[in-house]
Amino acid sequence: MFRRHQRTLAYLTVPMALGLGLTACAGSASPGSQSSSGGGSNDKIAVTLITKDNINPFFITMQEGAKAAGAQNGVDITLAAGAKDGDEDGQIKAIEAAVARGDRGILITPSGPGVNTAIQNARKQGLYVIALDTPPDPADTVDITFATDNFKAGELIGKWAAAQFNGKEAKIAMLDQFNDKVVSVDVNRDQGFLTGMGIDTKDKSKNGDEDKTGTYSAGGKSGSYSIACQEPTGGAQDGGKSAMENCLANTRDINLVYTLNEPAAGGASQALEAAGVKGATIVSVDGACDPGLELVKAGTIGATSQQYPLKMAQLGVEAIAKIARGGEKPALTPGQSFFDTGVSLVTDKKVDGLDSISVAEGDKLCWGKK
């Protein structure tokens, strides 16, 4: 059910899935070599992509996108990742290795604030550092971020969920990423979802400070809500399963499940099925062809917000290649602290007044499936 496939988008030729760990693609540059100097238009530029893990299809697709864009732009891509989502030490070692090799730039999906100092040190050494998917805090820790508007992604599925419940009581399980560190993706999706539901989040930079009971509202309709639990998943399928099991141990009376991403949603659905809990609405973020859109198509997930990791990786590689060869730095999206790579609500249960695309349309755009 949760097998992984890869898709080749029209604008990007994607190679086969990459191996785990730290891998040099198309060769690696030594400090001070012509490959890493970027002095001429035909010189190879050395860049390291550091993802949160090598397991999530989102990051594997990002790796594929970076490798393909590297081949198109004369960039040697070295791949590295944490042992799992949240492994800041693993990412720090990869940053230090990129500096030692004499790389011209780093692309990174930061696992947490613990990597900030290493990023700043790399920039002091002359590397151009771009965050992908996860804006760091503060945003100027990196030179620029290419990412989804994660608050909007959460808000879209929150608005959709509120419309589905249409005044019916909502008993909500919140399945986040972490409960021991603050990561922008985690907070923004969580707070966006609640805002979309019409629930007062008090401080949008914090998870969990909203009232546990109250009233949600959307489209002129309102109803009561209660937050039954708030559990970390680590953004993984097994984490989603155990988080949902913890929620169900406290109460089986849950009918709406917010999940940080689709692997967590898949695990949550397994726990609900095993417990015999039927009819709960699950919403999520990512828009992967498998498992994400397959789960929407099957009715397991009601709606998801689709991201575009291939685009993030492509733009990141192109930006560093351009800068290393004397070109201009990319500009932020007006009014944002990052470059917005777009997001689309995907569902086959359309809501009046809320822009969305069908699963069939999402399948044409999605990443992770041939």
| Domains, the chain | 23-148+308-330 (3.40.50.2300), 150-306+343-365 (3.40.50.2300)
Cβ proximity of 45 and 293 under 8 Å: no
The percent helix, strand, coil of the chain (3-state, each to 5) is 40, 20, 40
Secondary structure letter of residue 223 according to DSSP: E
Cβ proximity of 2 and 293 under 8 Å: no
Strand 221-232 with 213-218, pairing: antiparallel
Secondary structure letter of residue 302 according to DSSP: S
Q: Could you list the pLDDT tens digit for every one of the 370 residues in the chain?
A: 333 333 333 333 333 333 333 433 433 333 333 334 444 556 789 999 999 999 888 999 999 999 999 999 999 999 999 999 999 999 999 999 999 999 999 999 999 999 999 999 999 999 999 999 999 999 999 999 999 999 999 999 999 999 999 999 999 999 999 999 999 999 999 999 999 999 999 999 999 999 999 999 977 789 999 999 999 999 999 999 999 999 999 999 999 999 999 999 999 999 999 999 999 999 999 999 888 999 999 999 999 999 999 999 999 999 999 999 999 999 999 999 999 999 999 999 999 999 999 999 999 998 744 3
Cβ proximity of 208 and 291 under 8 Å: no
Residue type at 122? A
pTM of structure: 0.85
For residue 291, cis peptide bond before it (omega within 30 degrees of 0): yes
CA–CA distances in Å: residue 265 to residues 215, 283, 301: 25, 8, 7
10 Å Cβ neighbour count for 275? 15
Cβ proximity of 185 and 267 under 8 Å: no
What dihedral do alpha carbons 255, 352, 339, 191 form, nearest 10°?
A: -30
